[in-house]
Structure 1
Amino acid sequence: MREILGITNKLCEALQKKDQDIVNACQLIRSTKAQLLDYRLEGFDSLLKDVTTFCDKYEIEVVKMEDEYVDPKNRRKKTNITNRHHYVVNNFNTVLDMQIQDYERRFNEVTTNLLMLMNCLSPCNSFSAFNKQNLLDLAGMYPYDFNIDEKDKLKYELGHYIYNMKDDTPFANLNGVGDLAKRMVETRKHIDYPLVYRLMKLSLVLPVATASVERSFSSMKHVKTDLRNRMGDGYMNDSCICFVERDLFQQVSVEDVMQRFQKMKSRRQQL
């Protein structure tokens, strides 16, 4: 389990970042899958060597891999398999297959392609990742948000959009799609390019619906503990917001909080 968690830890940390680059996340997904597959095919011998070294160091008896496996629940019954077969097939491969299947379910080819297509909206390096055909394919993955006429208009709108964005100084040196969407609203470009802006909003929903939600559920474990398991939904929601967005709340002074509560209603004593 230490080896498996070591392989998957990098991807888990990356998905928890709010400003994670999409291309980097896709590359980490592919490399994590590949390493798990390699470990499944070639990792048991190295694991057995480490276990044997550990057992020799602390004088623990090691079973011989070539001997017949004995079921501890029914020692009299013949198993007709070796210890190596039991530990490789029934334990090692089973655990890794569960991990690999879970990654395939969560990060299938469609999801990975969607993430790669989303990256074409990135404004980094003067919109170097822009690709009109990929963005049209991305719009095709949202049939309920773009009808046939809008998809046809989007093709021409993207041409005007990229031409103007590259020459517009306010859109230089942006760090992500989120910053790009904010700048479009500030400059009222979202009115000139409504279909492109709609595509941006759809793209921004996906990270919020994955990593942000996972972070929120992880935060609930810290807020609603065994000692506070009867917490109401309203209080838990407020506490979770404070915990998840603690970077923002650290900028709020204690004095401002006290004044806020003081003005909510009349109190006998001044806070």
Structure 2
Amino acid sequence: MFIVKFIVSFNFFLTPVSHCSGSATALHKQTNVVKNDYRIRLNASIDVSRHLLHQGLPFRGHDESEESTNKGNFLELLKYIAGQNEVVKKVVLKNAPKNNQMTSPPIQKDIVHCFSEEVTRSIIEEMDNDVFGLLVDESADASDKEQMAVVFRFVDKYGVVKERFIGVIHVQETSSLSLKSAIDSLFAKYGLSLKKLRGKGYDGASNMKGKFNGLRSLILKENSSAYYVHCFAHQLQLVVMAVAKKHVEVGEFFYMISVLLNVVGAFCKRKDKIREIDRQKVEEKISNGEIKTGTRLNQELSLQRPGNTRWGSHYKTLLRLEELFSSIVIVLEYIQDEGTDTTKRQQAYGILKYFHTFDFVFYLELMLLVMGLSDSLSKAWQRKDQDILNAISLVKTTKCQLQKVRDDGWDAFMAEVSSFSEKTNIGMLKMEEEFVDSRRPRKKTGITNLHHYKVDCFYTVLDMQLQEFNDRFDELNSELLICMSSLSPIDSFRQFDKSMLVRLT
């Protein structure tokens, strides 16, 4: 299709203009040669584009001038192909007409666009006008333009569940009406119907999942069968994040962790110093016989920087902080005493001061406990062979574990706090003494340390987790997914249940 398009437009400029039979014949012969060279040039550019797209590589370089030693992937790969094939070499790059080299950025974009259209059409054909699910997310790109990513999820004629990325659509704004208009335009372009939609997946933003004016509700008005199901793994991240936002002391704890990462984790020399100190301690313990050696034991550790949208990575950061705590303290003391940046020295002083408080130990162990349960659930959900029923049962299991920790886990939790405090020489508070609020130290609180840390902190954080679990994983979605699982073809429809199908209907 792409080659025909270019040849047709090229032939327009090669139409004979002379009525003299001799000149017409000469021009016709020359045209056949030019058309063949053009086809070779075009195929070479298409082959280069296909390879770069398949590998996900950029096309253009920073400097594509004649004097440049690296003109970018597209031109360099075309140059390599020309060096391997004499036929191609004769008609590309310097040997091609100046106005028909088939290497300009607009030509490259046209080729990529044609590939995109052909791939999208093949996906639509694979769907075969059957029902499908829609996954949508929006975000700003590097140039601060709002883009909407669209993915289709469907079952092909062989019964294989597939997810196919359709494209990124530019939207003027992120309102629900604007997103709905973009989806309608996409569906109209490829001849799709909202009536075939059987499921939607968005993030938790109000413009997406809002019950009254969100994209979810706008589509439901046209198709009541298009149920909205939030990604389980994403909801789990929001559950953990909600606690950090709602509980003041937990929020302060994560703020101090972010400051620590800026002071220590953002500098290679400081990270190397932590690794070196930890390596020396491991070697000393090995020589004293305190730890064993073997394959994959005593691996080199570093303080990992967490991702903003992946709270599972925060759990890994806290684990590393616990393991490398003494090494991190040594580096912070060095920055405080020997650092040249005044701001970093002040930040190191503030972190060290916080690290030697009971609050730090308490919330470190509490977040490790809570995030440990969530991390196990998150890893289980990300398994490719995970089925719906097991995924839902894992939610119930995690909620039961959280409830059990809340009811009976205080003593075991405090034993962990006490163990870490003793190992790091951080003083423990006497639980029977009156609690002193650091924000208002002169004002009497009238409660004991035990009441504050057990009721206001331990119970409150766990109750928040349980409440968020109940809100995020509501009974309607769970019931819907349980009923749908009866249609699973696994093990010759072993889970088939007519009563569930009636409930689903």
Q: TM-score, normalised by structure 1?
A: 0.49
Q: Which has the larger radius of gyration?
A: 2
Q: Which structure is higher in helix share? A: 1
Name which structure has the greater RCO, CA cutoff 8 Å, separation 6+.
1
Q: Which structure is higher in strand share? A: 2
